[in-house]
Structure 1
């Protein structure tokens, strides 16, 4: 029997009040933001917003609580855009949608930052003992979102990014799970040489924590070679998009090459305002598990397929509640 766990991949929409307040504050603090320094007013606004989104998750009854990544204006590129040895270039389209980020240009060694750990420590103060979940870009996606102007070789750059992320994770407070978000593995699959190195890069990050590690992907399905290589990574679960991606291809990969002892299912649309009911979410989970030729999963994570950043706050909260309710249904499914 599998345990259902309701969670999300982080990167939440800002509360409505924070959008206007932070826009005004950042307009007056533009020079400080470019240099990486945030004023006390901006820090305070983010702290209030962080407490609110943590509270929303607690109220909804999620099983894993994320910090929310409200400061991540550059989306998954954020851990690099705030680094002292990274310069931000021009505006670049974020994957294939209407969001944009500043191109992080790595011009020096990727030394320890601690930025994400500070956020998680702040979130942990609001948890009331509930389990924390860390969220980071996976090493391949982060390397693909950046421009390397220092290391000079794709393989060396991937290694450097993975070592950087591992050091960040090592500074995290206690956390139950770690989600590594790797959409680039499916939208821009690595060539054979890099694909062979991806498992080691992910392992370097996973080895830095005792938490359960989930490599979560979205928007498309894996090609066979990339998935087969990823299966060599020593992680607890791989995540699949069952909203946007080719379900037939996804199920073929799982049944042909196997998957990990736990699984993450992206069942709720993180980009569409239509709210799925808890019954619908649970039915989708049961349908997927019925199609998978494995005896059982230790844990089945129920989540949005993508970051919910794109949603209006009210719809986002409703989807959190649906995920939590779907995971709490007493009847367990034999996968």
Structure 2
């Protein structure tokens, strides 16, 4: 798929490095966000803090040496609730336990879903103006939005998912129009019900990506991939961003049986613990990727977003993956 990147005017190296989406938020911003949710301040009061944090993470990505940036999602809380608040037809529930001791307000579909205005373009443009490196646009996908919401309006899961796809497509169109050339559609829930992949999840992704001039990534994590591979390769995207290290690279065994035919953002950093991997570990993970995949198809990144890590940990983990990619790239030359 490197040809598509070149057609879009993007000159990326072999084994390009990137991040999945989120970074840790400063404590001051976290406190302000809690005040906003309690109704004590207005949304516009958050903007200066969000911009400051976004600028800082762009600078960190420059210093670390990533090839493809993200805006860091300083303006988002939960990945589903954020978009639900921006779409018509949703209400918010009380707190629902997600995993561990993490909770979020689960969206409820109460009426016709309708996209009124972009939820990401303003922040993506702000971040892109701060760097010459490409910044990914990141949108939560329709299947995950459907699966992680209560549906009290549409006839079934399929109808809700396709309604979300038709409206979230408008978000993707807005990003493309603004100049985003790499767009990531987050679908962590994709393996929740494997039979729905062919029933309608694939159709929903087609709605999201068809006839748009961009390089598309879908991020899937927490996945029981063995139940959807290789069928998931039918999704109309260019790149799969997959959680690899947290599962001890077990997915590579599937690649040996059924070749992986798309580009892959290969997670060489486990984001679920506080341990910063040493260089030997990250390079070994990347070497394993190269045993089953050609180097021109591999991107290098963490397993998932880094927002649950401390800032110093996140930075050190980014440094490790950049170092592993650089050293491996040098060996290939």
Corresponding position of 1:109: 112
Structure 1 counterpart of 2:306, from 299, 308, 319: 308
The answer (yes or no) to whether the contact 1:262–1:297 under 8 Å persists in 2 is: no
Bigger mean CA deviation after superposition, 276-285 or 298-307:
276-285
Structure 2 counterpart of 1:321, from 310, 319, 322: 319
Corresponding position of 2:179: 174
Structure 2 counterpart of 1:70, from 68, 74, 77: 74
Corresponding position of 2:241: 239
Q: Aligned in 2, Cα 1:115/1:287: closer, same or farther, shift over 3 Å?
A: same
TM-fit CA distance, 1:308: 0.8
Q: Tell me the number of residue pairs that the alignment of Structure 1 and Structure 2 aligns.
A: 318
The answer (yes or no) to whether the contact 1:117–1:169 under 8 Å persists in 2 is: no
The answer (yes or no) to whether the contact 1:16–1:313 under 8 Å persists in 2 is: no
Matched, 1:219 2:230: no
Bigger mean CA deviation after superposition, 70-79 or 100-109:
70-79
The answer (yes or no) to whether the contact 1:221–1:247 under 8 Å persists in 2 is: no
Please provide the CA RMSD for this pair.
Answer: 2.5
Structure 2 counterpart of 1:155, from 146, 149, 158: 158
Alignment of 1:186-265 (within 5 A): 186=191, 188-190=192-194, 192-193=195-196, 195-207=198-210, 209-224=212-227, 226-245=228-247, 247-248=249-250, 250-265=251-266
Q: Aligned in 2, Cα 1:287/1:111: closer, same or farther, shift over 3 Å?
A: same
Please give the secondary structure, in 2, of the residue aligned with 1:328: helix
Separation in 2 of the partners of 1:123 and 1:235?
Answer: 24
Provide Cα deviations, 1:260-307, integer angstroms capped at 9, x if missing partner. 3311111101121111234532321111221x2x5x253311111121
Matched, 1:7 2:18: yes
Q: Aligned in 2, Cα 1:246/1:283: closer, same or farther, shift over 3 Å?
A: closer
Separation in 2 of the partners of 1:325 and 1:176?
Answer: 26
TM-score, normalisation: structure 1:
0.86
The answer (yes or no) to whether the contact 1:199–1:229 under 8 Å persists in 2 is: no
Q: Give unpaired runs (5+ residues) of structure 1.
A: 33-37
Q: Give unpaired runs (5+ residues) of structure 2.
A: 3-12
TM-fit CA distance, 1:27: 4.9
TM-score, normalisation: structure 2:
0.86
Corresponding position of 2:10: none
Provide Cα deviations, 1:55-100, integer angstroms capped at 9, x if missing partner. 2112211111111112221234421133232110121222x33322
Matched, 1:136 2:136: no
The answer (yes or no) to whether the contact 2:265–2:300 under 8 Å persists in 1 is: yes
